[in-house]
Amino acid sequence: MFAKLITGKNHIKNSEVCQDNWRAYYSINNKLTILVLSDGAGSSKKSNIGSKLICEEIINECSNCTIKEIKDRDWWIKLIKNVHHEILNKDKNNNLQDYRATLLVAIISHEENLLLTTHIGDGYVLAFDEINAHIISEPSNGEYVNETYFFTQNDFEQNLRIYNHELTKYKYIMLTSDGLEPIIMKNKKPFEGFFKPVIKFLINEENDKKIYEALSASIKKAYETACYDDVSIVLHEI
């Protein structure tokens, strides 16, 4: 498991906190690995809280659910609406839009040979085989440049995407916010100049500490070169 949060240059300049959050958990109850990442909207003053709440609620609910439930769209809609209610109960201004954040989820079941993804908004879910990176859930953006969708929107159901994938095709799963997009994507496809050496290193290196240090250095270098937004990434070996 590799995970990293880096506060964006623009947020540092304005003395703002990182608005992204992530969580990962292996549930003994249902033998599911649950990965969650949420990118808080820079224009919303409490988006770091919104991204934290949705990550925590998904871990709590998915750790006690069934395979049948996580495949059910209505189950996800109910879960997200419960987070809406939780926010509104705590917020005296009763304003969901102060907490705007995207949502990326990957759930792994080896027993079912299942890789399930749930996605609202931008960011990427990618899966690696032994050679290439593949987009298995791509960003969903709005009508205008830099516009996307958030789990806090009243009509979030329209932008909720749930996909089932065959697990055995892949070696690694990666969730990332759009902050890393400038250096990992080229013409809306995984940039081989970034992914080829990363995948080769992951396949051949067994030392977890060396993997963490090498990936941290690569992400830091990329961030310093081309990234201004918050950067969040979760990488897990399947």
Q: CATH number of the domain that 81 lies in?
A: 3.60.40.10
pLDDT single digits (tens) 47-69: 999 999 999 999 999 999 999 99
User: What is the four-CA torsion angle of 182, 6, 167, 197, rounded to 10 degrees?
Assistant: 60
What is the tally of structural domains in the chain?
1
pLDDT of residue 227: 67
pTM assigned to the model:
0.93
Q: Give the domain range for residue 20.
A: 2-237
Mean pLDDT of 35-55: 94
The mean pLDDT of the chain is 91
Question: Out of 89-98, 106-115, 170-179, which region has the weakest mean confidence (pLDDT)?
Answer: 89-98
Is residue 234 very low, low, confident or very high in pLDDT (cuts 50, 70, 90)?
Answer: very high
DSSP assignments along 139-178, one per residue: --B-SSTT-B--TTSTTGGGG-EEEEEEGGG-SEEEEE-G
How far is it, in rounded angstroms, from Cα 81 to Cα 156?
A: 9
Of the chain, the percentage scoring pLDDT greater than 70 comes to: 97
